[in-house]
């Protein structure tokens, strides 16, 4: 850090020293470089000794992660009737997840903001693209290990959460789409060397708002669970004798 600090100081001192001997025109040009010198000075300090959150907290206790997506989509030759000849949209999705773990217990929260730009009233906008400023995951969990065998692991998650079920063929969190499918309820997973099993009981969460005008304006409305639909089931998977093959049975 000392070498970077010295280089920055030398650059600033050199600019101030030369300013004393320069005329007005040259002086104005010199001071035009002053912001650049300051930026260089600050960048040198940051690169020499950057602040890192992992240096301040124990990663085994607190884990922070985030994702950001920006995607431009354009359509020429509209195949939907009543939506014009062409269309375009810029999709933004930002996520921040925090997980606190202590002696088998965990507290998880994940924030997501999905919004759009450049769409208009002829665009087929839906909640698959827009869901602004929403907590998509807020749940408490508990994991117990070595119950009957050293490889056994039993976990519970209670609250709002996303879900990947088994091979992800039937139920899965989104990868390409901007918004997430979320559920509120209880999930339990049993993992061992011989099989994996999952049981769940959920209330699906409805993304709001859903009217086109609100979605075009990226308006916010808190998502709600629907008590009219109960979603429950489970899956069981076990490896076959053939290497790399797995049998999976799911009931919904």
* CA–CA dist 89, 71 (Å, integer): 8
Same structural domain, 141 and 213? yes
**Structural domain count, the chain:** 2
**CA distance from start to end of the chain:** 59
What pLDDT does 87 receive?
82
pLDDT in tens, 1-44: 555 555 555 555 554 545 444 444 454 454 555 555 566 666 66
The token duo for 36 is 């650049």
Domain that holds residue 203: 56-251
What pLDDT does 20 receive?
46
What pLDDT does 21 receive?
47
Same structural domain, 93 and 30? no
What pLDDT does 155 receive?
96
C-alpha separations of 223 from 4, 20, 127, 209 in Å: 50, 63, 11, 8
Q: Can you name the residues that pair with 247 across neighbouring β-strands?
A: 238
* CA–CA dist 252, 244 (Å, integer): 26
Same structural domain, 113 and 27? no
pTM: 0.74
The token duo for 12 is 């600033």
Locate tokens 């994940």: which residue? Answer: 110
Same structural domain, 6 and 93? no
Same structural domain, 176 and 205? yes
What pLDDT does 3 receive?
55
Same structural domain, 8 and 78? no
| Phi/psi at 47 (5° precision) | -70, -30
10-residue mean pLDDT profile of the chain (252 residues): values are 52 50 48 57 62 68 90 83 78 94 94 92 89 96 88 94 90 91 96 92 96 94 92 91 79 91
Same structural domain, 194 and 152? yes
Instruction: Tell me how crowded residue 169 is: count the other CB atoms within 10 A of its CB.
Output: 9
Same structural domain, 41 and 153? no
Of the candidates 27, 48, 69, which is a domain's last residue?
A: 48
């Amino acid at each position: 850090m000392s070498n970077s600090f010295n280089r920055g100081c030398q650059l600033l001192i050199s600019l101030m020293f030369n300013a004393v001997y320069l005329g007005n025109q040259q002086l104005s040009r010199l001071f035009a470089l002053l912001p650049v010198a300051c930026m260089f000075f600050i960048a040198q300090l940051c690169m020499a000794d950057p602040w890192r959150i992992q240096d301040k907290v124990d990663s085994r206790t607190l884990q922070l992660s985030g994702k950001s997506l920006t995607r431009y989509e354009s359509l020429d030759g509209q195949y939907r009737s009543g939506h014009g000849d062409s269309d375009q949209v810029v999709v933004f999705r930002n996520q921040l997840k925090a997980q606190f773990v202590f002696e088998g217990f965990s507290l998880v929260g994940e924030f997501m903001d999905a919004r759009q730009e450049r769409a208009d009233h002829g665009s087929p906008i839906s909640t698959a693209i827009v869901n602004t400023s929403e907590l998509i995951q807020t749940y408490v969990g508990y994991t117990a290990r070595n119950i009957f065998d050293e490889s056994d692991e039993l976990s519970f998650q209670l609250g709002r959460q996303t879900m990947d079920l088994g091979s992800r063929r039937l139920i899965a969190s989104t990868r390409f789409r901007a918004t997430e499918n979320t559920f509120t309820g209880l999930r339990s997973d049993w993992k061992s060397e011989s099989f994996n099993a999952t049981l769940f009981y959920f209330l699906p969460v409805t993304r709001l708002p859903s009217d086109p005008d609100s979605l075009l304006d990226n308006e916010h409305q808190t998502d709600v669970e629907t008590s009219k639909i109960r979603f429950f089931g489970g899956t069981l998977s076990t490896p076959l004798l053939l290497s790399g093959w797995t049998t999976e049975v799911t009931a919904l």
